[in-house]
């Protein structure tokens, strides 16, 4: 047991010895607390008064610390919101049930990480089981299932039951254990990004294998203040991106009685958009300049120079002993289109946004539609900088003008924020809508996952001339990127993806050129 005066010391020891170094967490002993817990919005670990009666206090504190660490789950409240939203959407379960399911996953994974630190995860869970045993009414619940897993993972002693025998006969249980072990190993990579698909699959398996109930004393409960403006804003963005319905959104955002969902969504949308419009833009480099140059380059062969790292292998094969005849591959500009004047010569910006059902697919733990929205905010920020009016056209099964031509960039952004994935894909319909606007010297920008008809892409590319056409494709699908590349000789291409810090960046997409052999 730990002395009363040493609780803070034990906590400091845990925090100082764990790898990776945990975030700056604080510890509070709370008289009325029913359990050990962590608040991810306050970065606060709470210990109940009965900790003095426990032998494995160090392990229990470590358990909570791992919930908020880079190698544990959920690590951040943003991750927790993402896991909750995706599970609610795919399993169509209320938030209370989803949280109880996810806590089983979180606890199993973080206890594996606690054991990795050399602490006694078996002793901790054996002690907890003694304090909160599996009684008759608890058999077959998610709490019982968790301890069946602990029996396999740590060797915890557990009385055999018919339910345990049934669970062990199921392939779903074997798959669940595989996922839990995999998530614990993934935690060792210390990334904020997590395998959302596997967490949702594990949640589905738990819902099939057990009766989902609240944990005794909520041990290991991960919480955060859903009324906190930052948490609520994140919940709104994540929930809308995932396509949650109004009831699910209200639950995820933690709306209380008398709080209006539409008003709260408006607040969250405005906060997000203002932040995006005034923050540093990561992408669309040199798209807007006082003298905008669009160069078309083709590969050519030149004499190889000894300091050059690029060498044409064909020339070496032909003249293996004469370096003077070796060639290097470079690119030469064969066409330059110059648009003079302020803001690259553009008179307006028209953004064509893909919100088709395929944009609900997850890429790096986030729906593709989220990256499409981020890229659109970046273009709006550029339009704002140069005071260019913008028009937003969205498309799925059909196209519509989401936001008409204006310089109200916040309103444009708020409407983009509210988009949800739906339907099939009809880019041609969106192009027709754009043609009806009769734009001249406009920047027409397509932002998509690339899973569109090739004929529709060509139709868009052919709208260039008096207008400038660019396309940005999310790197979520190799097929989508390759499709968009096919119009790279006609339009300027960009790729959309997250960087190592999770920020969305938009980069020029290099074109591959091939040489005809001699």
Cα Rg, the chain, nearest whole Å = 28
| Residue whose structure tokens are 């959302």 | 196
End of a domain among 309, 324, 340? 340
pLDDT at residue number 452: 95
pLDDT tens, residue by residue, 316-361: 666 666 666 667 766 554 333 334 444 557 899 999 999 999 999 9
CATH number of the structural domain spanning residue 437: 3.40.50.410
Is residue 194 located within the same domain as residue 49? yes
Residue 234: both structure tokens together: 């994140």
Spatial separation of the C-alpha atoms in residues 28 and 45, rounded to whole Å: 6
The pTM score is 0.82
Helix (H) or strand (E) holding 435: helix 427-436
Is residue 513 included in any domain, yes or no? no
Residue 372 domain flag: yes
pLDDT value of position 221: 79
Question: Could you tell me which residues come within 8 angstroms of residue 184 by beta carbon, excluding any fewer than 6 positions away?
Answer: 108, 109, 112, 113, 116
Helix (H) or strand (E) holding 100: helix 95-116
In a domain? residue 328: yes
What is the rounded distance in angstroms from the CA atom of residue 436 to the CA atom of residue 405?
13
359 and 436 fall within a common domain: yes
Q: What's the rounded mean pLDDT across residues 131-150?
A: 95
Which tens digit of pLDDT belongs to each residue from 52-91? 899 999 999 999 999 999 999 999 999 999 999 999 999 9
Q: Let me know whether 235 and 316 are in one domain.
A: no
Residue bearing tokens 């009831």: 247
- Render pLDDT for 175-223 as a digit per residue (tens, 0 to 9): 999 999 999 998 777 665 668 999 999 999 999 999 987 776 555 579 9
Q: Which residue has the higher pLDDT, 508 or 449?
A: 449
Task: For the sheet with 44-48, list strands across it.
Answer: 26-30, 44-48, 37-39, 221-223
Say which residues have a Cβ less than 8 Å from residue 331's Cβ, sequence separation at least 6. 297, 298, 299, 300, 513
Same domain, 142 and 183: yes
d(Cα 259, Cα 264) in Å, to the nearest integer?
8
Do 370 and 450 reside in the same domain of the chain?
Answer: yes
Q: Are residues 353 and 335 in the same domain?
A: no
Residue 34, φ and ψ in degrees, nearest 5: -90, -15
SS3 115: helix
Same domain, 8 and 61: yes
Q: Are residues 361 and 411 in the same domain?
A: yes
In the chain, helix, strand, coil percent, each to 5?
A: 45, 20, 35
Count each helix (H run) and each strand (E run) in the chain, helices first: 18, 15
Where is the domain boundary, 201, 223, 245? 223
In a domain, 211, yes or no: yes
Q: Quote the domain boundaries for residue 238.
A: 226-279
Is there a domain that residue 214 lies in?
Answer: yes
Residues 154 and 236 in one domain: no
The position carrying tokens 């027709």 is: 432
Domain tally, the chain: 4
Q: Which of 237, 252, 279 is the last residue of a domain?
A: 279
Whole-angstrom distance, CA of residue 515 vs CA of residue 299 = 8
The tokens for 104 are: 């089983």
User: In this structure, is residue 336 part of a structural domain?
Assistant: yes
Alpha helices for 22-94 (secondary structure H): 57-67, 77-91
**Do residues 413 and 320 share a domain?**
no
Average pLDDT over residues 126-146: 94
> Within a domain: residue 514?
no
Q: What number is the average pLDDT over the span 478-502?
A: 90
Residues with Cβ within 8 Å of residue 180, at least 6 apart in sequence: 105, 108, 109, 112, 149, 153, 202
**Does residue 351 sit in the same domain as residue 318?**
no
Q: Is the peptide bond before 313 cis (omega within 30 degrees of 0)?
A: no
Query: Which tens digits make up the pLDDT trace of 404-455?
Result: 999 999 999 999 999 999 999 999 999 999 999 988 889 999 999 999 999 9
Greater confidence (38 vs 303) lies with 38
Would you say residue 152 lies in a domain? yes
Q: How many residues does the chain have?
A: 518
**Are 330 and 300 in contact, with CB atoms under 8 Å apart?**
yes
Instruction: Locate 305 and state its tokens.
Output: 């120079």
**Predicted local confidence at residue 479, as pLDDT:** 96
- Same domain for 479 and 423: yes
pLDDT of residue 516 exceeding 60, the answer is no
């Amino acid at each position: 047991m730990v002395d009363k005066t040493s609780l803070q010391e034990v906590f400091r020891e845990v925090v100082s010895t764990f790898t990776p170094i945990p975030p700056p967490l604080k510890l509070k002993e709370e008289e009325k607390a029913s359990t050990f817990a962590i608040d991810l919005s306050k970065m606060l670990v709470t210990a109940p008064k009965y900790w003095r009666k426990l032998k494995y206090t160090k392990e229990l504190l470590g358990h909570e610390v791992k919930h908020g660490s880079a190698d544990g789950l959920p690590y951040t409240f943003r991750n927790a919101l993402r896991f909750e939203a995706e599970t609610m959407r795919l399993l169509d379960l209320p938030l209370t049930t989803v949280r109880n399911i996810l806590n089983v996953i979180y606890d199993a994974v973080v206890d594996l990480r606690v054991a990795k630190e050399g602490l006694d995860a078996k002793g901790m869970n054996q002690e907890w089981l003694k304090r909160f045993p599996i009684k008759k009414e608890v058999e077959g619940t998610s709490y019982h299932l968790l301890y069946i897993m602990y029996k396999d993972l740590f060797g915890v002693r557990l009385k055999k039951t018919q339910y345990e025998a049934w669970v062990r006969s199921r392939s779903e249980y074997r798959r669940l254990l595989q996922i839990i072990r995999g998530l614990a190993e993934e935690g060792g990579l210390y990334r904020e990004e997590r395998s959302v698909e596997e967490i949702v699959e594990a949640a589905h398996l738990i819902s099939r294998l057990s009766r989902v109930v609240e944990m005794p004393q909520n041990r290991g409960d991960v919480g955060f203040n859903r009324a906190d403006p930052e948490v609520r804003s994140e919940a709104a963005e994540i929930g809308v991106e995932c396509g949650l319905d109004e009831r699910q959104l209200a639950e995820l955002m933690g709306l209380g009685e008398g709080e209006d969902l539409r008003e709260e969504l408006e607040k969250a949308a405005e906060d997000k958009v203002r932040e995006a419009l005034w923050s540093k833009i990561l992408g669309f480099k040199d798209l807007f300049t006082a003298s905008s140059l669009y160069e078309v380059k083709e590969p050519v062969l030149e004499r190889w120079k000894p300091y050059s790292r690029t060498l044409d292998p064909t020339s070496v094969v032909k003249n293996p002993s004469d370096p003077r005849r070796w060639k290097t591959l470079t690119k030469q500009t064969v066409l330059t289109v110059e648009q003079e004047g302020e803001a690259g010569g553009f008179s307006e910006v028209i953004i064509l946004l893909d919100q088709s059902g395929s944009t609900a697919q997850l890429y790096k733990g986030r729906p593709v539609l989220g990256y499409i929205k981020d890229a659109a905010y970046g273009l709006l920020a550029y339009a704002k900088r140069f005071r260019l009016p913008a028009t937003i056209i969205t498309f799925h099964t059909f196209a519509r003008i989401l936001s008409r031509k204006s310089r109200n960039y916040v309103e444009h952004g708020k409407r983009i924020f509210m988009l949800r994935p739906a339907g099939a894909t009809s880019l041609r319909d969106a192009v027709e809508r754009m043609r009806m606007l009769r734009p001249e010297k406009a920047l027409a920008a397509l932002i998509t996952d690339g899973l569109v008809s090739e004929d529709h892409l060509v139709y868009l590319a052919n709208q260039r001339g008096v207008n400038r056409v660019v396309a940005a494709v999310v790197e979520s699908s190799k097929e989508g990127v390759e499709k968009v590349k096919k119009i790279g000789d006609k339009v300027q291409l960009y790729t959309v993806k997250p960087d190592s810090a999770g920020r969305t960046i938009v980069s020029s997409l290099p074109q591959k050129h091939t040489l005809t052999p001699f």
